[in-house]
Amino acid sequence: MKLLLTAFGPFGGRNLNASSLALAGLRKALPGIHTRVMPVDAVIAPSRLKQAIRKIRPNALIMLGEASGSREIRLETTAWNQIDFRVPDIAGRLHCSRPIRRNAPASLSSTLPLKEIHERLLALGYPVAFSQDPGRYLCNLLFFRALDDLAQNGIAIPAGFIHLPLESDLPTNRAVAAISEVMYILHPIA
Instruction: Label residue 4 exposed, middle or buried (CB < 10 Å: 0-12, 13-18, 19+).
Output: buried
Catalytic residue among 116, 118, 163, 181: 163
Which distant-in-sequence residues (6+ apart) come within 8 Å of 149 by Cβ?
50, 53
Catalytic residue among 34, 66, 72, 76: 76
Dist. CA 12–CA 89, nearest whole Å: 8
pLDDT in tens, the chain (190 residues): 799 999 999 887 778 899 999 999 999 988 889 999 999 999 999 999 999 999 999 999 999 999 988 999 999 999 999 999 888 888 888 888 899 999 999 999 999 999 999 999 999 999 999 999 999 999 999 999 999 999 999 999 999 999 999 999 999 999 999 999 999 998 865 3
Query: For residue 177, is it left (φ>0), alpha (ψ between -120 and 50) or beta?
Result: alpha
Dist. CA 168–CA 183, nearest whole Å: 23
Q: Is 96 a catalytic residue?
A: no
Q: Is 118 a catalytic residue?
A: no
The CATH architecture annotation of domain 3-186 reads 3-Layer(aba) Sandwich (3.40)
Catalytic residue among 72, 139, 167, 181: 139
Q: Do 174 and 126 meet the contact criterion of CB atoms below 8 Å apart?
A: yes
Dist. CA 127–CA 144, nearest whole Å: 25
Please state, rounded to an integer, the average pLDDT across all residues of the chain: 93
Q: Is 76 a catalytic residue?
A: yes
159-172 pLDDT, tens digit per residue, is 999 999 999 999 99
